[in-house]
Amino acid sequence: MFVQPKREKEIKPSQERQQRNTSLQQLGPKNILPLGYKCPRWPIFSPYSFSLKTPRSTLEQSRRDSRVRQTGERRDDDAMEAPQSSLRSALVFSFIAIAYLSLLVRSATLSSPELQILNAERRIDLTSHIIRVYLTLKVENTGAAPASEIFLAFPPAQVDHLAIVKAAATFGKKKKKSYLPLDVNPTDLPDAPNGAKCFSISLVSPLKTGESVTLEVLYILSHSLEPFPIEISQSESQLVYYHDSAIILSPYHIKHQTTFIKTSSPKVESFTRVEPSDRVGTELKYGPYEDRHSYSFSPIIVHFENNNPFAVVEELVREVEISHWGSLQVTERYKLVHAGARHKGVFSRLEYQHRPQFSGVSSFKHLLATLPPKVHSVYYRDEIGNISSSHLRTNSKKSELEIEPRYPLFGGWKATFVIGYGLPLQDFLFESPDGRRYLNFSFGCPLAETVVDKLTIKVVLPEGSKNPSAVVPFAVDQRIETSFSYLDVVGRTVVVLEKENVVPEHNSPFQVYYNFNPIFMVAEPLMLASVFFFFFIACVTYLHMDISIRK
Amino acid sequence: MDINVLAFLVPAGITACFLPLSDASSFVILYIVTSVYFSGVMVRLMLVLAPAACILSGIALSEAFDVFTGSIKFQLPGISRNSQIDVRDTSSAGVVTQDDGVKTDKNEESLKERPSKKNKKKERENAEKALIKPPLEKRLLVLPLEASVISLLLLVLLGAFYVVHCVWAAAEAYSAPSIVLTSHTNNGLHVFDDFREAYAWLSHNTEVDDKVASWWDYGYQTTAMANRTVIVDNNTWNNTHIATVGTAMSSPEKAAWEIFHSLDVKYVLVVFGGLVGYPSDDINKFLWMVRIGGGVFPHIKEPDYLRDGQYRIDSQATPTMLNCLMYKLCYYRFVETDGQGFDRVRKTEIGKKHFKLTHFEEVFTTHHWMVRLYKLKPPKNRIRGKTKKSKTKASSTTGSKGSGKRNPWQ
């Protein structure tokens, strides 16, 4: 007999399924476990999961959004009832259930270590259009087997926009913290409800029973702030929606959790209230919540003002050409767009120039590109010619190129341009111990705080290079092409790396290895010299030859 | 731009061409006279004056060099002299302007020229002289040695300064691309890249099929850089078509909207130099829009726009001028820049300062206000207070406005 939770408001189908899942979990001491029932991967038949009591969640209506958004409501009051008479039989049955479960276990991985998150703290940084979420998890192994992997779950709407997931294990207390970076890989958990996707963090040493480890996870979301209203005029400021869950989605049971959200300005139009929640200035606090089921989810919306430049590069092609005569030539082609609320109506240059605080607050004019230190011959142009509004500042550590597109970018406006520069080769080309040469260059876009939808890096190796291969710290699509340039006979090998959804955290160095026989360097000068030489020899011979018949 | 020292060398050259008059020299004289007339009519035709002026100045300078070098050589020790020595004042040897009376001095000049023949310097001169009757007397014009040396040096200096002037004129006046303007401020070079800014904005932020209406000067630039369809461009020979655009620019807002709407125009581009002082803007070209438009459409009358025979935009301007589309599009909200609306090109305050646009809306203005882009507003769905007459026309948009008025473009 299932305990039907009382439903006061209409619940969405996804919530309904979650309801059914959780109600399945409520097979308690007074219910009989049917034979042949396939247990889910994660054992939830622990006695602790039945005494949950989820509080009611209320909703605060936003001014502009008249739709009613629901949160699932669960009431497990009835689960508390355990008739005294059948307590002994309930205990017996639970032991049988556990024994049955252990019999069903086949492989070692399925002998799932039961993990539990003791404490979870999540800090969401919404100041820029790239959302950074810092998750601190204290995971405890409550099961029998040691755990070598820890899983993270994400709702399907967020997985598409996930740019990077990084994890590290922390050791030590406050002042003496040390971090050990861990590998994170996407995996597939078959029982994850409603299409939630999972990532697995591989621990360096397996977590033994009863032990706990503290992990810090950083994940970055792009394109997750939805502008609302979708179109704004020049004098309005930009307001955006942020969709997330007040309760951290996780495959494990979380005992204690808190979420802090930091917005970019104190102007927050509305936010969903999931008790206990509070707001102070730019910081919203959701929590602390106690004892939440695995995969529990409570959707919230935060509607706030964000006027940070929503600079998105739709397509970036970076071409790095290696010349063994001592220089590296980089050419970058950008297609820039303002991805915030679209601009509608009049653009008045008068308002923009005379009242900058009230007009065009969400537009941007300047972009900063960070280039390597010893850069020379920098050019900034587009299809119709050179753009003169740029400034280059160099020092010994880095060079900063501040560029201004021809016009300020308002919502929905596009601009395209090309930036090119030269670099000395000795800073970037090295020789590896096994005799191969490798180019050490930084992946990613030099522009600060921009998201690149599609990044293509082409490394053009000199003629005569063999066995090219690339080593990149994250997943990219690789392929090899051939391009022809001056004085090329067989063509130059081009290593093409493509990646989507690139954020500034991807600016880490990557290497391209190749073999090069130094004799190929003289191939081109020899070719030129020999062509002229033979031409002159032919002329001399022709002039000195006498092929006339008569003497 | 200007011919500098050639201004006084040309008359000397004309005089030299007359002594003696041959086929070649008479051709050069006719060339210079006709080109001077035509460049007086339209200053751009100085382009045809330039080669003639250079030729004649070259002739004058070479004659002067002949005299001086002849004098020097003659007075160097060891050269035998024969016949008379005529010592004259050297100031008239081709350095001083001789504007008229060439023909009366012909005999005098011929007397001056013939003595130099004795030294047989230039073969060109000999060939020239051989065409006419052989001179009876050759008198050598010998000037004092020091004077001729100094004059020679001064002539060389004159040539050097002329070269310096020409290089400067070519760099400053002839090399301006006229699409990127520069000005020297105390902070260095200030660049006015407004044209390319407007064209780049058009090419990225409008739809591919949008049509842009402007005066024909900007047609090729818009097609090449903004990649948008234009209504008239530099190669349009259809005068009526240009007159249509000119009429639209000279008409009040509503009539202009009708014309542009019938041409399926989405954006209107005007060039305005009043904020920065750029003189070749559309308000200065406005007289041609009125004249060409008035030449084809009789309802545009040029006297409507003139006050005392002049085109004005200040408070003395005619009401037709203050209501025409070009005025409104150029000066829309211009008064709010400095409070008085002072136009730096026309050097006055504008006449009509505060007004609103009813049929157009501003979509982009460049950084220095040099190019302004406006969009045609879509017609209203409902017009208050007008009884709907049944329209048989297919397009309801042109029918909803201007009902009862015959549209001259259909």
Question: In chain A, what residues touch B333 (CB-CB under 8 Å)?
Answer: 348, 350
Give the DSSP H/E element, type plus range, for residue B126.
Answer: helix B123-131
Q: Is the pLDDT of residue A57 over 50?
A: no
Kindly write down the DSSP assignment for every residue of B127-171, as one continuous string. HHHHHSPPPS---EE---HHHHHHHHHHHHHHHHHHHHHHHHHII
Asked whether residue A7 is assigned to any structural domain, the reply reads no
CB of A137 closer than 8 Å to CB of A184: no
Confidence of residue B117 (pLDDT cuts 50, 70, 90): very low
Looking at residue A135, its pLDDT comes to 93
List, for residues A213-236, the tens digit of each pLDDT value.
Answer: 888 999 999 999 999 999 999 999
Are A176 and A300 part of one and the same domain? yes
Nearest C-alpha in A relative to B191 = A388
Are A347 and A457 part of one and the same domain? yes
Yes or no, beta carbons of B337 and A416 under 8 Å apart: no
- Taken in order B309, B310, B314, B320, the sign of the CA dihedral is positive
Looking at residue A94, its pLDDT comes to 66
Looking at residue A277, its pLDDT comes to 87
Query: ipTM higher than 0.85?
Result: no
Q: CATH number of the domain that A419 lies in?
A: 2.60.40.1730
Mean pLDDT of chain A: 82
Confidence of residue B77 (pLDDT cuts 50, 70, 90): confident
Looking at residue B132, its pLDDT comes to 53
Looking at residue B104, its pLDDT comes to 42
Asked whether residue A23 is assigned to any structural domain, the reply reads yes
Distance CA B19, CA B62 (A): 14
Yes or no, beta carbons of B199 and A354 under 8 Å apart: no
Q: Is the pLDDT of residue A181 over 50?
A: yes
Looking at residue A77, its pLDDT comes to 41
Tokens linked to A56 = 């009611």
Asked whether residue A80 is assigned to any structural domain, the reply reads no
A1 touches chain B (CB under 8 A): no
A349 touches chain B (CB under 8 A): yes
**Bigger pLDDT: B381 or B149?**
B149
The Cα-based distances of A343 to A230, A268, B269 in angstroms read 9, 22, 20
Distance CA A311, CA A452 (A): 9
Question: In chain B, what residues touch A415 (CB-CB under 8 Å)?
Answer: 200, 204
Confidence of residue A38 (pLDDT cuts 50, 70, 90): very low
Domain-terminating residue out of A305, A328, A350? A305
Distance CA B353, CA B368 (A): 19
Yes or no, beta carbons of B365 and A384 under 8 Å apart: no
Looking at residue B390, its pLDDT comes to 53
What is the CATH code for B194-380?
A: 3.40.50.12610
Q: Tell me the sheet residues that pair with A240.
A: A227, A304
The answer to which of A355-359, A467-471, B105-109, B281-285 has the lowest mean pLDDT is B105-109
Nearest C-alpha in A relative to B192 = A388
Domain-terminating residue out of A305, A324, A355? A305
Are A146 and A202 part of one and the same domain? yes
Confidence of residue A547 (pLDDT cuts 50, 70, 90): confident
Are A188 and A318 part of one and the same domain? no
Looking at residue A180, its pLDDT comes to 77
Yes or no, beta carbons of A413 and B205 under 8 Å apart: yes
Are A489 and A378 part of one and the same domain? yes
Task: Looking at the complex, report in whole angstroms how far the Cα of residue A409 sits from the nearest Cα belonging to chain B.
Answer: 10
Distance CA B315, CA A114 (A): 87
Q: Is the pLDDT of residue B313 over 80?
A: yes
State how beta strands A429-431 and A414-424 pair: unpaired
CB of B217 closer than 8 Å to CB of B242: no
Looking at residue A132, its pLDDT comes to 95
Are A392 and A503 part of one and the same domain? yes
List, for residues A356-398, the tens digit of each pLDDT value.
Answer: 888 889 999 999 999 999 999 999 999 999 999 999 999 999 9
Q: Is the pLDDT of residue B401 over 70?
A: no
Residue type, B31: Y
Please count the residue pairs, one from chain A and one from chain B, whose beta carbons lie less than 8 angstroms apart: 53
How far from the centroid of its chain's Cα atoms is residue A362's Cα?
A: 24
Are A19 and A122 part of one and the same domain? no
Asked whether residue A537 is assigned to any structural domain, the reply reads no
Yes or no, beta carbons of A406 and B365 under 8 Å apart: no
Mean pLDDT of chain B: 83
- Taken in order A516, A517, A521, A524, the sign of the CA dihedral is negative
Kindly write down the DSSP assignment for every residue of B53-73, as one continuous string. HHHHHHHHHHHHHHHHHHHHH
Q: Best interface-test mutation with A: which of B204, B221, B275 has the largest number of A CBs within 10 A?
A: B204
Q: Is the pLDDT of residue A107 over 50?
A: no
Mean of the pLDDT values across residues A112-123? 86
Asked whether residue A548 is assigned to any structural domain, the reply reads no
Are A327 and A440 part of one and the same domain? yes
Confidence of residue A196 (pLDDT cuts 50, 70, 90): confident
A387 touches chain B (CB under 8 A): yes
Are A301 and A317 part of one and the same domain? no
Confidence of residue A39 (pLDDT cuts 50, 70, 90): very low
Domain count, chain A: 4
Q: Is the pLDDT of residue B14 over 90?
A: yes
Domain-terminating residue out of A255, A288, A305? A305
Are A127 and A105 part of one and the same domain? no
Q: Is the pLDDT of residue B402 over 50?
A: no
Are A137 and A269 part of one and the same domain? yes
Asked whether residue A539 is assigned to any structural domain, the reply reads no
Distance CA A274, CA A207 (A): 34
Looking at residue A10, its pLDDT comes to 45
A354 touches chain B (CB under 8 A): yes
Are A192 and A174 part of one and the same domain? yes
Sketch the domain layout of chain B as residue ranges: 6-74+144-174, 76-140, 194-380
Question: In chain B, what residues touch A354 (CB-CB under 8 Å)?
Answer: 336-337
CB of A53 closer than 8 Å to CB of A78: no
Yes or no, beta carbons of B204 and A349 under 8 Å apart: no
Asked whether residue A78 is assigned to any structural domain, the reply reads no
Q: Is the pLDDT of residue A60 over 80?
A: no
**How many helices (DSSP H) and strands (DSSP E) are in chain A?**
5, 31
State how beta strands A451-460 and A492-502 pair: antiparallel
Task: Looking at the complex, report in whole angstroms how far the Cα of residue B39 sits from the nearest Cα belonging to chain A.
Answer: 35
In this complex, the residue of A349, A388, A414 whose CB is nearest that of residue B205 is A414
List, for residues B372-383, the tens digit of each pLDDT value.
Answer: 999 999 988 887
Q: What are phi and psi of B152, to 5 degrees?
A: -60, -45
Looking at residue A276, its pLDDT comes to 86
Distance CA A550, CA A548 (A): 6
A414 touches chain B (CB under 8 A): yes
| Domain span including residue A19 | 12-45
Distance CA B315, CA B333 (A): 17
Residue type, A64: R
Question: In chain B, what residues touch A347 (CB-CB under 8 Å)?
Answer: 362-365
Asked whether residue A432 is assigned to any structural domain, the reply reads yes
A346 touches chain B (CB under 8 A): yes
